[in-house]
Amino acid sequence: MAETVEQVVRDDAGRVLQVARMRDGLLDGELTVYAPDGTVRTRAAYRVGKLDGEVTTHDEDGALLLRAEYRDGERDGDSTVYAAGRPQMLMRYAAGVLEGETLSYGPGGQVTARLRYRGGKLEGESEWYDVEGRLLRRATYVADRQEGPTLEYFASGRVRERALFRDGVPDGETLVYDEEGRIRERRRFREGKPVGAPERFDERGRPEGKPGRLSLLRKTLGTLAGGK
């Protein structure tokens, strides 16, 4: 059985840029890549030429950018993306594809998105939040396509918009509400295309652009008076 040997790469000034463990000409063990100032930029575990274990990458100041788990050359397990040393996104993989819950984080560490995957595709409910943790949007996916109701919210928690999707496109009625829960606009879609013009309503629920009963009565009385 071949022995594991250490391979060191240096620049013209003699500074170490890379240290790798090799066996039979293949990476086998830890690989470390350095910046010229000696800061670690990448550290990765290999087995028989394939990534297998933890991989980390760092910026020029040494701050962590990515921590990921690999198995037999594919992402398998948690992968976390960092910004300014804080987690920005947590993804879960199985055999190289997204599987389970993916989380996005705001600068304060609060969850700003919660997405669910199956076999690398969005599946089930996904939610988005503002930096205060308030729900902004909720949508349902089937095999990466929006399906069923999609809801958008005001910061108060009241529904701002309710839409129906089928096979990834709007299909059916979309309603827009004000913060008091009153319908202010209605739009209709068929297979992603608008059907007719949007209907808009005032705060009393009356269609905008159409005269109310009192206006019609006044107009009728005016016409009759003019006829005399």
**Mean pLDDT over each residue of the chain, to the nearest integer:** 92
87 SS3 class: strand
Higher pLDDT, 40 or 221: 40
Band of residue 168 on the pLDDT scale cut at 50, 70, 90: very high
pLDDT value of position 82: 97
Which of 73, 64, 59 is CA-nearest to residue 26?
73
pLDDT value of position 227: 53
Instruction: Point out which residues pair with 21 in neighbouring strands.
Output: 6
Average pLDDT over residues 47-64: 96
pLDDT value of position 223: 57
pLDDT value of position 228: 45
pTM of the model: 0.83
Average pLDDT over residues 7-23: 97
pLDDT value of position 10: 97
Res. 149: pLDDT tops 80 = yes
Res. 66: pLDDT tops 70 = yes
In the chain, the percentage of residues whose pLDDT exceeds 90 is: 86
Higher pLDDT, 120 or 225: 120
Res. 217: pLDDT tops 60 = no
pLDDT value of position 213: 52
- Residue pointed to by tokens 């019609």: 216
Higher pLDDT, 20 or 204: 20
Collect all residues with Cβ–Cβ distance below 8 Å to 214 and sequence separation of at least 6.
none
Provide the CA 115 distance to its chain's centre, in angstroms.
7
Band of residue 220 on the pLDDT scale cut at 50, 70, 90: low
